[in-house]
């Protein structure tokens, strides 16, 4: 690219002199520096015609020199070129920091580099200033969808509320591939960091759950510390936010004198049960002495069932955990009944590390678990913040018909064609597999019910589509919150993972609970007995593990009957809790207040 130049102000005049007289790759539009600085149209027209005449000798010579400068530019920025060498030297000198260029000749450099078409240079380049940050938060979730998503949502909230805070969200390289395609909407001050894939792949983790847990607890710490070491001033971390199940990160922060916030990704009720294992032990409810037969059982829920099958012990009431409403032993998280001593010890480790953190973050809504949270704040020595619901987008109900991909568009278009509150949304989680026999019973029961349904199931999608026919829509994935907020969805059949529970409450839909293991058992009890916004699909967990199609069809029909008195009351309660959720996240709401207080704390 050669230059026909109209100088404007200040340092652009020396740049013009370099282009025309020293490098000989351009002409001046102004022949002289006139007082009025006006170049007439006739002069411009004649100069442009001559400048663009490719057959003139001086034009050919000027373009030959431009090509020569292009080669010089390319060599300078290539490996071991002068610019590349100096940039590396500069980086070594300052390590990492902010670089601000106040030079006004970017257009000159770009013109030399492209060497395609001549241009008229007539105005000043804009100067872009990189942001500076007052603090740097490094967040690391436990590698699982139920853990990654809520912590990511919380980080997005913090990044949006505090633009002068840089947040680095750390995941494995595999997980970076999973989430990077969905990160376009994240604030500019939220970036991703990755550590090597030192743990089993997400795609095979269920083959050896205990081995996966052990790898997470023993192999991620070192690469995480190496990543922390790579941050230099002024970007050294000022806070670590870790999933509570990665309790080793609290030790990392303490050794480095970096405050740590522990993020517990389940309900406050479940946290309180874990935190009060000593009370369970005092009452003879923990630990449980398992038989040899049970110790050879891998499935955690099966252990729980074997333990109490044919006995009354599972129905014993636990009514001594501060703030937690009375519940049966069978409603406690199944971690407590695990036959694997490794799992039990890791649960105890989690609790023992909590007081060593600087803050505790609970992604719940204060009003939903107020008695539990009050009791925890009284007993725990560190600040406790309720920052829920920490779900993806709090404005989804305003644009629930918008779509970002064809699969999602097909789902939303199908929902648009259904009557209001007529569709049962069915999703039983992304990890813990339901048996094939139970899947078949669910499919048959849904079809026999005559109720419209949208069933998201990752495996056997094609087969189940054939089984279900036109009775409902079967898909491998959907944007769950967007679906729940659709006006045609009138109920949620769920495994009771905490994220799903929060999204259902936000959408104001009632639940059919189908807990599989762990915290899901406790959440099911809270939904049905405490909040009274759902029914159990399994009437008695200890009676049998398989729910038959006839039971499913009958219960689904009743659950989706909008004219039934008990259904009307359940839906009224669901709308009440939806309003509670809205008030909590609104300005002056409990969650908003706690989030702002947390931001003030970490900014001091």
Task: Give me the domain span that covers residue 108.
Answer: 3-121
Q: Is residue 593 pLDDT above 60, yes or no?
A: yes
**Which range has the worst mean pLDDT, 32-41, 150-159, 333-342, 434-443?**
32-41
pLDDT tens track for 151-177: 999 999 999 999 999 999 999 999 999
Residue at 600 is within a domain: no
Could you tell me which residues come within 8 angstroms of residue 587 by beta carbon, excluding any fewer than 6 positions away?
none
Three-state secondary-structure class, residue 574: helix
d(CA 269, CA 363) in angstroms, rounded, equals: 12
- Tokens in use for 55? 């057959």
* Ranges 5-14, 105-114, 238-247, 271-280: which has the least confidence: 105-114
Identify whether the C-beta of residue 338 lies closer than 8 Å to the C-beta of residue 303: yes
Q: pLDDT, tens digit, for every residue of 270-314? A: 999 999 999 999 998 887 554 443 444 444 444 455 444 435 677
Q: Give me the percent of the chain exceeding a pLDDT of 70.
A: 80
Last residue of a domain, one of 56, 89, 121: 121
Q: Considering the domain boundaries, does residue 28 fall inside one?
A: yes
User: Does 97 have pLDDT greater than 70?
Assistant: no
Q: Tell me, rounded to whole angstroms, the distance of Cα 472 from its chain centroid.
A: 30
- For the ranges 104-108, 307-311, 369-373, 392-396, the maximum mean pLDDT occurs at 369-373
Instruction: For helices 565-585 and 498-507, give the axis angle rounded to 10 degrees.
Output: 100
Cα separation, 370 vs 373, whole angstroms: 5
Q: What is the pLDDT of residue 66?
A: 82
Q: What's the pLDDT tens digit per position in 21-30?
A: 888 888 887 7
CB 315, CB 329: distance < 8 Å? yes
Looking at residue 90, what is its pLDDT? 62
Q: What is the CATH number of the domain that holds 506?
A: 3.40.50.2000
Distance CA(267)–CA(500), nearest Å, equals 11
In this prediction, residue 119 carries a pLDDT of 42
- The reply to whether 424 falls in a domain is yes
Mean pLDDT, the chain, rounded, equals 83
Residue 60 lies in a domain: yes
Tell me the two tokens of residue 600: 């003030």
In a domain, 312, yes or no: no
Which residue has better confidence, 297 or 477?
A: 477
How far is C-alpha 114 from the chain's CA centre?
Answer: 40
For residue 279, being part of any structural domain is answered with no
Per-residue pLDDT, averaged over 554-580, amounts to 97
> How large a percentage of the chain has pLDDT more than 90?
54
- 286: nearest Cα among 326, 245, 345, 244: 345
Peptide bond before residue 151 is cis, with ω within 30 degrees of 0: no
Q: Beta-strand (E) ranges in 108-182?
A: 119-121, 135-140, 165-172
Res 553: pLDDT: 96
In a domain, 470, yes or no: yes
∠ CA(482), CA(486), CA(490), 5° rounding? 120
Question: What whole-number distance in Å separates Cα of residue 495 and Cα of residue 492?
Answer: 10
The answer to whether 307 and 332 are in contact (CB under 8 A) is no
Tell which wins on pLDDT, 405 or 535: 535
- Confidence at residue 165, expressed as pLDDT on a 0 to 100 scale: 96
State the CB neighbour count (10 A cutoff) for residue 102.
6
Predicted local distance difference test score (pLDDT) of residue 47? 82
Q: How confident is the model at residue 540 (pLDDT cuts 50, 70, 90)?
A: low
Q: Domain count for the chain, please give it.
A: 2
Residue 322: how many CB atoms within 10 A of its CB? 15
Residue 121 tokens read as 């240079």
> What is the arithmetic mean of pLDDT over 469-497?
93
Asked if the structure places residue 193 within a domain, the reply is no
Burial of 42 (0-12, 13-18, 19+ CB in 10 A): exposed
List the structure tokens of 424: 């049962």
The model scores a pTM over 0.85 = no
Mean pLDDT of 522-533: 98
Point out the domain boundary residue: 96, 121, 146. 121
Residues 6+ apart with CB under 8 A from 551: 445
Q: Which of 65, 89, 121 is the last residue of a domain?
A: 121
Flag the least confident range among 358-372, 431-445, 557-571.
Answer: 431-445
């Amino acid at each position: 690219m050669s230059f026909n130049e109209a100088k404007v102000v200040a340092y652009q005049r020396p740049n013009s002199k370099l282009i025309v007289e020293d490098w000989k790759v351009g002409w001046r539009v102004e022949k002289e520096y006139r007082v009025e600085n006006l170049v007439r149209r006739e002069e411009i027209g004649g100069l442009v015609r001559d400048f663009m005449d490719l057959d003139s000798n001086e034009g050919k010579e000027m373009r030959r020199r431009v090509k020569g400068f292009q080669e010089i530019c390319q060599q300078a920025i290539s490996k071991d070129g002068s610019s590349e060498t100096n940039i590396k030297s500069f980086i070594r000198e300052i390590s990492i920091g902010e670089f601000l260029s106040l030079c006004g000749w970017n257009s000159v450099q770009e013109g030399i580099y492209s060497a395609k078409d001549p241009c008229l240079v007539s105005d000043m380049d804009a100067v872009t200033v990189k942001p500076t940050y007052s603090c740097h938060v490094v967040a690391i979730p436990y590698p699982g969808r139920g853990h990654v998503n809520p912590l990511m949502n919380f980080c997005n909230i913090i990044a949006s509320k505090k633009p002068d805070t840089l947040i680095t969200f750390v995941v494995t390289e595999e997980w970076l591939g999973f989430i990077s395609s969905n990160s376009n909407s994240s604030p500019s001050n939220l970036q991703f960091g990755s550590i090597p894939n030192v743990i089993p792949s997400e795609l095979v983790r269920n083959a050896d759950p205990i081995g996966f847990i052990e790898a997470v607890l023993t192999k991620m710490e070192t690469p995480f510390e190496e990543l922390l070491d790579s941050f230099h001033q002024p970007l050294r971390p000022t806070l670590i936010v870790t999933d509570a199940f990665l309790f080793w990160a609290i030790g990392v922060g303490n050794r480095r004198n970096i405050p740590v916030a522990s993020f517990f990704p389940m309900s406050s009720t479940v946290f309180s049960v874990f935190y009060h294992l000593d009370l369970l032990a005092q009452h003879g409810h923990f630990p449980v002495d398992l038989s040899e037969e049970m110790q050879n059982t891998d499935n955690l829920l099966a252990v729980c069932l074997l333990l109490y099958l044919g006995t009354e012990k599972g129905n014993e009431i636990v009514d001594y955990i501060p703030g937690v409403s009375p519940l049966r032993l069978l409603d406690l998280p199944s971690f407590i009944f695990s036959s694997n001593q490794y799992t039990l010890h890791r649960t105890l480790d989690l609790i023992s590390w909590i007081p060593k953190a600087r803050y505790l973050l609970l992604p719940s809504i204060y009003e939903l678990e107020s008695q539990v949270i009050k009791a925890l704040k009284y007993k725990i020595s560190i600040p406790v913040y309720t920052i829920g619901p920490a779900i993806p987008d709090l404005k989804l109900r305003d644009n629930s018909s918008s779509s970002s991909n064809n699969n999602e568009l097909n789902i939303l278009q199908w929902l648009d064609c259904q009557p209001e509150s007529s569709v049962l949304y069915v999703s039983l989680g992304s990890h813990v597999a339901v048996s094939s026999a139970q899947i078949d019973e669910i499919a048959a029961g849904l079809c026999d019910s005559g109720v419209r349904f949208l069933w998201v199931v990752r495996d056997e999608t094609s087969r189940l589509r054939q089984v279900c026919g036109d009775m409902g829509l079967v898909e491998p994935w959907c944007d769950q919150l967007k679906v729940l907020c659709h006006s045609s969805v009138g109920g949620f059949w769920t495994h009771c993972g905490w994220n799903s529970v929060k999204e259902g409450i936000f959408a104001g839909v009632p639940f059919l609970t189908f807990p599989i293991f762990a915290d899901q058992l406790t959440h099911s009890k809270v939904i049905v007995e405490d909040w009274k916004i759902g029914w159990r699909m399994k009437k008695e967990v200890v009676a049998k593990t398989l729910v038959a199609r006839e039971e499913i069809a009958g219960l689904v029909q009743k659950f989706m009957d909008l004219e039934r008195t008990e259904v009307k009351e359940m839906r009224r309660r669901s709308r009440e809790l939806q309003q509670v959720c809205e008030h909590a996240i609104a300005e002056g709401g409990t969650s908003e207040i706690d989030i702002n207080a947390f931001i003030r704390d970490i900014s001091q």
